């Protein structure tokens, strides 16, 4: 399945690459090697872009206290830190880095209601830069569970990813595993959990968005 964010781009790219290949064949009819190189490069580039927008189905864990990974990627940060934007308290931060090869759909980590949402314009530092979470283009989303536990997430654009999409608004009920956004071409998602949470992943672990359990909320 191809994500809706890629439909227009993929169609435009298909038309453009087709036009380039037709032009090469027309203007260089005897240059078979050149034609073949252009065709192969075009195919590889299109397939690379196509796989970036894939949107595979996921089996969502249904445990009441389970926090699932909001994105595919690699766990790069697990630390206790101060969350200064909205919660204004110490939290456990779990950060997942998404390379251009990962699925870039972002999913709700818990069931609940969107208590807070804000989009921030910003820079495009590499996603693993220490200041990327406070200076890059980003969104902040807080979901409150039915038991009143707040989980904050932050979509962070990277040096290549320069377009963040979101599909939620304040006051909206959301389901665990459902899409809340998309980031194009490499980025990071931070999750801020209560200090009493039991983290189920470690640095370097690979996550599958919507399926990997990254923590257990306090009961």
Instruction: Please check whether residue 66 is in contact with residue 216, taking contact to mean a CB–CB distance below 8 angstroms.
Output: yes
Q: Whose CA is closest to 70, among 100, 118, 102, 110?
A: 110
Question: How is the beta sheet containing 105-107 ordered, strand by strand?
Answer: 105-107, 179-183, 164-166
Catalytic residue among 95, 132, 145, 187: 187
Q: What angle do CA 74, 78, 84 make, to 5 degrees?
A: 115
Tokens of 129: 């830069």
Give the Cα separation of 210 and 194 in Å (integer).
20
Q: At how many degrees (to 10) do helices 32-52 and 7-27 cross?
A: 180
**Stretch (H or E) spanning 117:** strand 112-120
| Alpha-helical runs (H) found in the chain | 7-27, 32-52, 132-135
Q: Does the annotation count 132 as an active-site position?
A: no
Please report, for residues 103, 127, 128, 174, the alpha-carbon distance to residue 74 in angstroms, rounded to integers and kept in the order given: 12, 12, 11, 25
| Alpha-helical runs (H) found in 89-161 | 132-135
Show which residues are catalytic: 187
């Amino acid at each position: 399945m191809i994500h809706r964010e890629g439909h227009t781009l993929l169609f435009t790219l298909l038309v453009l690459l087709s036009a380039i290949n037709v032009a090469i064949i027309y203007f260089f009819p005897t240059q078979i090697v050149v034609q073949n190189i252009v065709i192969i490069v075009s195919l590889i580039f299109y397939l690379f872009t196509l796989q970036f927008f894939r949107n595979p189905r996921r089996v969502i864990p249904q445990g009441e206290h389970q926090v699932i990974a909001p994105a595919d990627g690699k766990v790069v940060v697990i630390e206790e830190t101060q969350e200064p934007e909205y919660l204004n308290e110490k939290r456990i931060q779990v950060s997942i880095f998404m390379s251009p090869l990962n699925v870039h759909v972002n999913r709700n980590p818990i069931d609940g209601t969107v208590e807070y949402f804000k989009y921030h314009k910003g820079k495009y530092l590499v996603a693993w830069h220490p200041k990327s979470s406070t200076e890059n283009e980003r969104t902040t989303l807080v979901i409150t569970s039915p038991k009143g536990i707040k989980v904050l997430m932050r979509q962070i654009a990277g040096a290549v990813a320069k377009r963040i999409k979101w599909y939620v608004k304040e006051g909206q009920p959301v389901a665990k595993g459902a899409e809340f956004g998309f980031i194009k071409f490499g980025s990071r998602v931070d999750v801020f959990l209560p200090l009493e949470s039991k983290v189920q992943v470690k640095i370097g672990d690979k996550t599958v968005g919507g399926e990997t359990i990254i923590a257990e909320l306090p009961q």
